[in-house]
Amino acid sequence: MSEPLAALEAVGLGKRYGRRWGLEDCSLRLPTGRVAALVGPNGAGKSTLLRMAAGITRPSAGEVRVFGQSPQDQTIEVLRQIGYLDQERPLYSSFRVGEMLRFGRRLNPGWDDSVARAYLSELGIPTDAKVGKLSIGQQAQVALTMCLAKRPALLLLDEPVAALDPVAREGLMHVLLRSVVDDNTTVLLSSHALSDLATVCDYVIILSESRVHVADDLDYVLASHRLLVASSQEAPEIPPGVVHISTTRSQRQTDVIVRVEQPVTDPAWRVLEPTLEEIVLAYLREQGPRTPTMSPGAHGEAGGTAR
């Protein structure tokens, strides 16, 4: 079966900073048309992954491909297809918004000025305003507008909603989602505001300690994890055939997040469906070598480590 071209594909991708790996052995395959959430604590390697995909940082190991092309070797072709928004949102504060647009038009052959102007007028941002005089929220919207006006096939957004108030955050998300509808854009955005993303994303990548723990469809991620609850006094054994992710124990109650391939029927446990937030937290809590790695297509073997 020949698979359609992935928007983003990484195989054994790694980046070393001196002796430390910023990202290690990262393999994932993001299909076209998805909105993917890249989640993990600060320093987990989220920005490193995005920067390598954008061709800004060169990998130390493995490779990354954007629509089948290497951002390092075919930079121009890849750059044309991606919109990358850095965490720092580099804008020129002394420029007027209109000047930023002219700047963008000159640098980008695929630039669509009508898209940019439509978004700005809808957002109520005048083109004669000085960028430095805009609110943080408006600056973020201008920066995203600059990305969207390229009509990119892949948007790489590093913490696009951090530091935004809820209204600005919502406005930005709506602009982003509309471009997904209009242009079938694939989006990969990093964030630690997970609650915002649960309804927005349909693909989840969980990074911690420089490693990918999960990279899969949201539906699959939700369907393949269970929250097992039992009384702490009884503390039953973790049922066989599941992969243990994390345990939290209070005086009376023990909660265990596990990865499952078959339904858990052990009557000693109450079996619940965890939320995305609970699943992500479980992976982030339980770091280090104990955590089994879940990579696409190669699901880990059963039999977890009950503690």
CB of 155 to another protein, least distance (A): 14
Between 71 and 171, name the residue whose CB sits nearer to another protein. 171
Q: Which residue has the tokens 């989220």?
A: 46
Question: Locate tokens 């957002």: which residue?
Answer: 123
Dihedral angle, C-alpha 104, 105, 111, 112, nearest 10 °? 110
Inter-CA distances, 254 with 157, 270, 272, Å:
37, 10, 13
Q: Which residues pair with 64 in a beta bridge?
A: 10
Taking the complex as a whole, the smallest distance from the CB of residue 265 to another protein amounts, in Å, to 16
- Residue 115 as a binder of another protein (CB under 8 A): the answer is no
Residue among 50 and 197 whose Cβ is closer to another protein? 197
Task: Report, in Å, the least distance between residue 100 CB and another protein.
Answer: 24
Shortest distance (Å) from residue 146 CB to another protein: 21
Short-list 189, 253, 192, 257, CA closest to 226: 257
Residue 180 in the binding site for another protein (CB under 8 A)? yes
R_g (Cα) of the chain, nearest Å: 21
DSSP characters for 233-269? TT-PPPPTTEEEEEEEE-SSEEEEEEEESS----TTS
Q: How far apart are CA 266 and CA 151, in angstroms?
A: 51
The answer to the question of residue 31 lying near another protein (CB under 8 A) is no
Nearer to another protein, 21 or 119 (CB): 119
Shortest distance, CB of residue 255 to another protein, whole angstroms? Answer: 15
Pairing of the two strands 35-39 and 203-208: parallel
**Binder of another protein out of 50, 53, 120, 201 (CB under 8 A):** 201
CA angle 166, 197, 182 (to 5 degrees): 90
Of 170 and 237, nearer to another protein (C-beta) is 170
**Contact status: 195 vs another protein (CB under 8 A):** yes
Q: How many residues bind another protein (CB under 8 A)?
A: 21
Q: Which stretch binds another protein (CB under 8 A): 17-25, 98-106, 196-204, 287-295?
A: 196-204
**Considering only residues 238-277, where is the footprint of another protein by CB under 8 A?**
273, 275
Q: Which of 182, 193, 300, 307 binds another protein (CB under 8 A)?
A: 182
Choice from 39, 173, 214, 279 touching another protein (CB under 8 A): 173
Q: Is 165 in the site for another protein (CB under 8 A)?
A: no
Binding flag, residue 198, another protein (CB under 8 A):
yes
Residues 32-61 that bind another protein (CB under 8 A): 33-35
- Angle among Cα 50, 275, 306 to the nearest 5 degrees reads 95
Among the residues of 54-165, which ranges form H helices? 75-81, 97-107, 113-123, 136-148
What single DSSP character describes residue 212?
E
Q: Does 170 bind another protein (CB under 8 A)?
A: yes
Task: Point out which residues bind another protein (CB under 8 A).
Answer: 33-35, 170, 173-174, 177-178, 180-182, 195-196, 198-202, 223, 273, 275
